[in-house]
Chain A
Amino acid sequence: MSLTRRTLLATSAAALAAPALAQAPAKVVVIGGGFAGATAARFLQREGVSVTLVEPNAQYISCPFSNAVLAGLRDLSQQTFTYKAIAAQGITIAQQAATQIDAQARRVTLTDGTVLTYDRLVMAPGIDLNFAGLPGYDEAASTLMPHAWKAGPQTTLLRQQLEAMPDGGAVIISAPANPFRCPPGPYERASLIAWYLKTNKPKSKLLILDAKDAFSKQSLFTAAWKEIYGDMIEWIGLSGGGKVTEVKARENIFVTEFGEHKADVGNVIPPQRAGRIATIAGATDQTGWCPIDPVTFEAKLVPNIHVIGDAAVGGGMPKSAFAANAQAKACAYAVSALLRGDNPAEPKLINTCYSLVKPDYAISVAGVYAPAKGLLADVQGAGGVSVANAPASVRAAEAHYADGWFKTITQEVFG
């Protein structure tokens, strides 16, 4: 809205005795156009807030369901969304990266030098790969041993390597310690790659080297692997020597404390931390993540900056797209209330996360969360994983619902 128009409306509004109309709308800058940031932008705009969404990419490529792309079950184009509908809603899109944040002056500087001012800032920077946390692994190494933990060219590269691998080859996936983006993701990936191998290269093996001793939906995955893939998938946890301490990318070698594992296709899922701009803003602690208030999602370390999605920590919510979307809506409410001078009400949040083990076979984890003792804590008695030993019809129903979830959430966020 131009100043002239706003002034004009303010004048006519005075006649209508609606004083709120005379005020310029509050300004919120949202950094990051993923499931968290794009949702927050849309819901804040509907609250009458003037929103600028800072996102350097013209397209968003969804990580959820990208493991199916690796298995040849989906095309990357089905994972790709634009910001056209978001712009059409009246949200200003700055197709830039944020480079500096001055929390005192409430200013964000963009790559091209543009300075945006804000009343409140919402950060949804997602994850950065913590290359310093894994010797031998960096951007260059990821062109040889892909991480594919941000969907896009890395997904395509890993798919191509799997296609090029001869039958009888060894695929190795390394999984990081907690916390990281999408806790069941490495195991869904192992499952769907095994599906591809079983149907195309059945003499091949898949090894998971894990930096932890337990993982999300473990008993369900383990039972399904045995049932569907026999002994194709092997998992080595932390106490069995599964923690990868170094990679030798040129030789496709994973080094552990117990020895070396050579892969034909090596997928390194490295340690992670909040996107770098969160650290620039001063919102990250020594763990590399952003502690947040469980009611407002305001960063505990810096005022007027709210952090949602994978970058945030503060309780039991996993780093999932569903959680990011749910947090964004609760955060939009809280920010809107704070801008009006109201007290935000306590939220309740939900997470639902499906994992495909093969086509027509999915398992899920769900949780309900509420603020308790400064954290977003699990609501006792709720949540949990799919039932064990369920008939195939139940697993097929969950795969069916997973498709529905993806359609609904991407429509809400990008459609």
Chain B
Amino acid sequence: MALLFCLAGPASAAPPDVSKAPAGASACLGCHGASETELPSLNKLSASEIESAMDAFRSGAREATLMNRIAKGFTPDETRALAQWLVTQGRAP
């Protein structure tokens, strides 16, 4: 089907490819979408920026209202995988 979209579909950013999403990654988009709202969009960040932010939330080095509670649910390996996905297939449309 991907080929068909290339031939016939309009030129637009590819929507999130959930099927390759590592555990937990697609849930991030519920708060962090394509548009900057009161919450930051992740589309502007690099994978390493997302990963280090999550690491800092997890350790408590970075203060947060809520992200510290979420980050503690993910191991460093899981965090790396979801950060990588969020900047590739997971870019919010």
Contacts and interface: CB of A to CB of B under 8 A. Distances in A.
B47 interface: no
Interface residues of B, number: 35
A309 B16 CA distance: 21
Q: Residue among B4, B38, B39 with the most chain A CB within 10 A?
A: B38
A411 to B, nearest CB: 6
Interface string A261-303: 0000000000000000000000000000000000000000000
A287 B21 CA distance: 33
Interface residues of A, number: 50
Contacts of A48: 1
B29 to A, nearest CB: 6
Contacts of B72: 368, 379, 381-383
Interface in B4-44: 4, 15-19, 21-24, 26-35, 37-39
Interface stretch (A125-133, A157-165, A228-236, A347-355): A347-355
Interface stretch (A102-110, A186-194, A322-330): A322-330
A385 to B, nearest CB: 8
A405 B24 contact: no
Q: Residue among B15, B35, B37 with the most chain A CB within 10 A?
A: B37
A352 B38 contact: no
B3 interface: yes
A397 B65 contact: yes
B73 A408 contact: no
A398 B66 CA distance: 8
Nearest to A324: B30
A322 B30 contact: yes
A352 B30 contact: yes
A251 interface: no
A25 B31 CA distance: 31
Interface in A393-415: 394, 397-398, 400-401, 403-405, 407-409, 411-412
| Chain B contact residues, majority secondary structure | loop
A403 B37 contact: yes
A253 interface: no
Contact of A386 (B4, B39, B66): B66
B4 A347 contact: no
A246 B66 CA distance: 40
Interface in B52-93: 65-66, 69-74, 78, 92
A405 B30 contact: yes
Contacts of A397: 65
A333 B21 contact: yes
Contacts of B73: 348, 350, 367-368, 379, 381-383
A329 B18 contact: yes
Contacts of B16: 43, 46
A408 B18 contact: no
Contacts of A326: 26-27, 30
Contact of B39 (A364, A381, A405): A405
Interface in A11-26: 16, 18, 20-21, 25
Q: Which 5 A-B pairs have the closest CB atoms?
A: A368-B73, A404-B38, A382-B73, A348-B24, A404-B39
Interface of B: 1, 3-4, 15-19, 21-24, 26-35, 37-39, 65-66, 69-74, 78, 92
Given A348-B74, A400-B38, A401-B31, 16 more contacts: A18-B3, A47-B19, A332-B18, A336-B19, A347-B24, A350-B24, A350-B73, A352-B31, A364-B66, A366-B69, A379-B73, A381-B73, A383-B70, A405-B30, A408-B32, A408-B33
